[in-house]
Amino acid sequence: MKSIIKHRNFSKGALLLIVALTLQSCFVAKDYVRPDIETETEALYRTENLPIDSVSIADVSWKTLFTDQYLQQYIVEGLQNNMDVRIALQQIIAAQAYAKQSKAGYLPSVNVGANWTHQELSKNTQFGAFLSDTSTDQFDFTANLSWEADIWGKIRSNKRATQAAYLQSVAGHQAVKTQLISSIANTYYNLLALDEQLKITKETIATRDSSVTTIKALKEAGQVTQVAVDQNIAQYNSARALQVDIETAIFKTENTLSILLGKAPQYFERSSLDFQNIEQDIVLGVPATLLNNRPDVMAAEYNLIQSFELTNVAKSNLYPSLKLTASGGFQSLELDELFNANSLFANIIGGLTQPLFNKRKLKTQKEVAFAQQEQSLLQFKKTLLVAGGEVSNALFSYESETKKFEFRKNEVEALRTAETNSEELLTNGYANYLDLLTARERALSAELNIIDSKLQQLISIVDLYEALGGGWR
């Protein structure tokens, strides 16, 4: 008799398995395949010299690119202490926890519990009227098990979705590091440029102070009027006011650097602008390298992968689920007989459940999942386009600033000569004091501009390095 029951149970289980495998042929969770983005990456860089080599400046370590020892020290401190980096790290830890949870999706859920049930029957009921003792106590120690077969790949897709979310958080952390390195370098270079501008301004103040003395002597000699003296004094005070503006900018820039390094506002040791020479070759690499170099592009693709896998989950929810539930343990009316062999009990239930009417929830989830997948795809392509535009802008800026720097140098040399000649001509009575004032203003402006041009060269290289995805390795 027992063998017949076992045979029937086996037949029922086999029937459920055959039905499940038959239905599985209708739908199997698809594997992610990167979309065709050849059109987006073909002419991603706007340049006349399209790169043909996969090697990029982004492959160079920031320690190699930035040779200034102070800057290297500040980047190290920033990577350790910056608040945004630390926040991104906590996001990785949270995503990692979800990824670990998804790996356990194939395992059954098991709960164990002990219970005591006391029941009082009404004496006016059918059973209570015949019982002398209407109260009962029941003790049990029970284990419950629940397990779902992954016949449609739903659990696998959930696992892949959480893994993609984890990798997206890692890429986000890398993006924060890249942006941080770029911000620290640009802020440091701004400080050096301001230092240089302050130096030029102080030299100008000293020169104009001397010029005020000279112009007063010329006025006493009758060669110029009081207007010339007043104009020179005004020009001297204008330079003093400029010094205050530059010192204020230095103070605020140092505070900005303090925030980037996760420190209280303070003064920072630094070198000078003259020693900043980035000798690394400017190599772009083919546009496709952005897929593996730019953290934000990688994060966008991981987001697409997550959306794709969640679409698999939404589709699989429309199909039957094969679940196995079981419970077993000890039950007894007497506590001292709870763990007796006669107190053992067990229940096993296995079945297929096909959702039919669910207020359209499952179909809505599927439609929303497909829409979100399409959004993620468009966002991925947009991120690529933005990356290409940033590379193009940074490259064009670098080339423009390099050309402009030569013109600025020539301008400064010409205006310095003009200033010197104007002073000599004025002293000898052959020039108007207005010519000298104009020459001085233009010379100071040109000297400040050439410092700014040098700064923009450095910033454009840093921006190009960031745009290509350098710094996080």
Residue 329 CB: number of other CB atoms within 10 A?
19
Residues 6 or more apart whose CB falls under 8 angstroms from that of 24 comprise: 151, 152
Rounded to 5°, angle at Cα 397 from 395 and 399: 70
* pLDDT by residue, tens only, the chain of 473 residues: 444 444 455 455 555 455 545 544 455 678 899 988 877 777 788 876 666 666 788 888 999 999 999 999 999 999 999 999 999 989 999 998 988 888 888 888 889 999 888 888 777 776 666 666 667 788 888 999 898 888 888 889 999 999 999 999 999 999 999 999 999 999 999 999 999 999 999 998 998 888 788 778 878 877 777 887 888 888 899 999 999 999 999 999 999 999 999 999 999 999 999 889 877 777 777 887 888 889 999 999 999 999 999 999 999 888 888 888 999 888 888 888 888 888 888 888 888 788 877 788 888 999 999 999 999 999 999 999 999 999 999 889 988 988 888 888 888 888 888 777 777 776 776 666 666 677 778 888 888 999 999 999 999 999 999 999 988 88
Write down the architecture of domain 108-148+320-353 according to CATH: Single Sheet (2.20)
Tokens of 267: 């003064």
Query: Which two tokens mark 115?
Result: 């219970």
Domain range annotation of the chain: 30-106+152-319+361-467, 108-148+320-353
What's the CA gap between 164 and 130, in Å, rounded?
65
DSSP code, position 66: -
CATH code of the domain occupying 30-106+152-319+361-467: 1.20.1600.10
The label of the residue with tokens 């002597």 reads 217
Same fold for the pair 30-106+152-319+361-467 and 108-148+320-353:
no
Amino acid at 251: F
DSSP-derived letter for residue 53 is: -
Element (H, E) at 112: strand 109-120
User: Is residue 38 within a helix (H) or strand (E), and if so which, with residue range?
Assistant: helix 38-42
Encoded tokens for 424: 């000599």
pTM of the full structure: 0.82
Residues 6+ positions from 125 with CB-CB distance below 8 Å: none
CA distance linking residue 9 with residue 12, whole number of Å:
5
